[in-house]
Amino acid sequence: MSDKHIHIISFDVPWPADYGGVIDVYYQIKALSEMGVKVHLHCFTYGREEAVELNIICESVHYYPRKVGLESNLSMTPYIIHSRRCNKIVLNLMEDDYPIVCQGIHGCRILLDKRLAGRKIAYRAANVEHYYYQALYKKEKNWKKMLYFMLEAYRLKKWEHNLSRADVIFTISLADEAYYKKRFPESNVVNLFGFFEDSTFAMQEGRGEYILYQGNLSVNENIVAVEYILTYIARNVELPTVVSGKNPPAELVEKIEKTPNVTLVENPSNDEMQRLIQQAQINLLITFQPTGLKLKLLNALYNGRFCVANKEMLFGSGLETLVELANDDNEIVERIEVLTKREFSKDEIQLRKNFLSKLYSTKERIELMVSELF
């Protein structure tokens, strides 16, 4: 295995692994490294620092500044792709003939570069991106952001046909796999689900004292979910609710503070977040965007007790049997009231371990990935 090398192009610096997209990238690289594959990482920077931690699991790490701003938006190429145009990355890739994995559509501009003709290039789909931007547009309240999301969704849909040039498309959910197989019937589409820290199960028996909602609170998708919970759920259940995550806007902080029986834990460390997940009675997993795979769902299933989720959260995950499904506020409140009184048992822990070990085995998925690339 030691003679195998892979280039990975990441849309962002994947350390710290503290939000959905970079969690998938980081633990993918870690698993490849543990298998003996030498990873040459190329990442775009726009706010996150260069990370010495990546040198431990990568053979080499290269950083390229992202060209953010108006100029990168004045193009019919999607902004998330055009702002990552970079000749230096192509020159670096041309120094050898190793396979290349583009993490997300963001780095897929290289599919059009004639200098890389004949190279094995894979696309790792984090989402069906134009669906994701359409969902952002529908939930946004700021008209400037609405305009941007609408335009970006249009540009992404127009640009998507270029993905047929990829030698293999690795999807993150069963729903995305079905989409890409229909969209590109001639392409090789392989589902790998999401990668994350799954080396240990940390579910605890017994009962917890609160409901937990966790996520990046600067992301509109999660802000909408929290506002829904504050309005329709937290006021109508006995168990206290804890909301935890990164960088909540001042307006959301104020709403949480004004809602009785709700506590905010702002910018927790990774260890603190894991403790919150483990010790909760119920991990409440609500989203209104059925796109990609929500890694917070997997984190809750590996580490928490009961999980209550809506159908959008479960979309394409194959995890329906492990959660309590509830799709409106009445159903959610009813499920919470029932679960509040229950003990999380050894049998439930074992059932979850057996199911997840089979469906989300990192070793099997990384072996499949490597077999497709070589």
Residues 71-86 have pLDDT tens digits of 888 899 999 999 999 9
Please compute the mean of the pLDDT values over residues 308-316 and round it to a whole number: 92
User: What integer pLDDT is reported at residue 74 of this predicted model?
Assistant: 87
Query: pLDDT tens across 181-236, in order?
Result: 999 999 999 999 888 876 678 899 999 999 999 998 988 889 999 999 999 999 99
- Measured CA to CA, the distance from residue 303 to residue 197 in angstroms comes to 10
- Measured CA to CA, the distance from residue 341 to residue 338 in angstroms comes to 6
User: Does residue 2 surpass a pLDDT of 60?
Assistant: no
Whether the Cβ atoms of residue 42 and residue 59 lie closer than 8 Å to each other:
no
- Write down the architecture of domain 5-166 according to CATH: 3-Layer(aba) Sandwich (3.40)
Least confident of 54-58, 117-121, 271-275, 332-336: 271-275
C-beta pairs of 358-362 under 8 Å, 24+ apart in sequence: 359/193, 359/318, 359/319, 360/193, 360/198, 360/298, 362/27, 362/31, 362/195, 362/198, 362/199
Element at 141 (helix H, strand E): none
User: What integer pLDDT is reported at residue 70 of this predicted model?
Assistant: 86
Q: Which residues contact 2 (CB under 8 A, 6 or more apart)?
A: 36, 38
Mean pLDDT of the chain: 93
User: What integer pLDDT is reported at residue 1 of this predicted model?
Assistant: 47
| Region at 133 (left for phi over 0; alpha for psi -120 to 50; beta for the rest) | alpha
* Predicted confidence band of residue 320 (pLDDT cuts 50, 70, 90): very high
* Predicted confidence band of residue 3 (pLDDT cuts 50, 70, 90): confident
Instruction: Please list, residue by residue across 42-76, b when 16 or more beta carbons sit within 10 angstroms of its beta carbon and e when fewer do.
Output: bbbeeebeebeebeebbeebeebebeeeeebbeee
Which amino acid appears at position 291 of this protein? T
User: What integer pLDDT is reported at residue 321 of this predicted model?
Assistant: 92
* Predicted confidence band of residue 296 (pLDDT cuts 50, 70, 90): confident
Which amino acid appears at position 317 of this protein? S
Q: Using CB atoms within 10 A of its CB, is residue 33 exposed (0-12), middle (13-18) or buried (19+)?
A: middle
Q: What share of the chain is helix, strand, coil (3-state, %, to 5)?
A: 50, 15, 35
Percent of the chain with pLDDT over 70: 98
Percent of the chain with pLDDT over 90: 79
Whether the Cβ atoms of residue 51 and residue 13 lie closer than 8 Å to each other:
yes
User: Does residue 291 surpass a pLDDT of 90?
Assistant: no
- Biggest CA pair distance of the chain: 63
Q: How far is CA 18 from CA 30, 98, 149, 160, 360, in A?
A: 15, 29, 24, 28, 20
Which amino acid appears at position 222 of this protein? N
CATH numeric code, 211-358: 3.40.50.2000
Domains 5-166 and 211-358 share a fold: yes
User: What integer pLDDT is reported at residue 112 of this predicted model?
Assistant: 97
Element at 22 (helix H, strand E): helix 20-34
Q: Give the residue among 3, 6, 5, 25 at the shortest CA–CA distance from 14.
A: 25
Domain boundaries, the chain: 5-166, 211-358
- Measured CA to CA, the distance from residue 71 to residue 56 in angstroms comes to 36
Q: What is the pTM of this model?
A: 0.86
The backbone torsions φ and ψ at residue 287, rounded to the nearest 5 degrees and listed phi first, read -145, 160
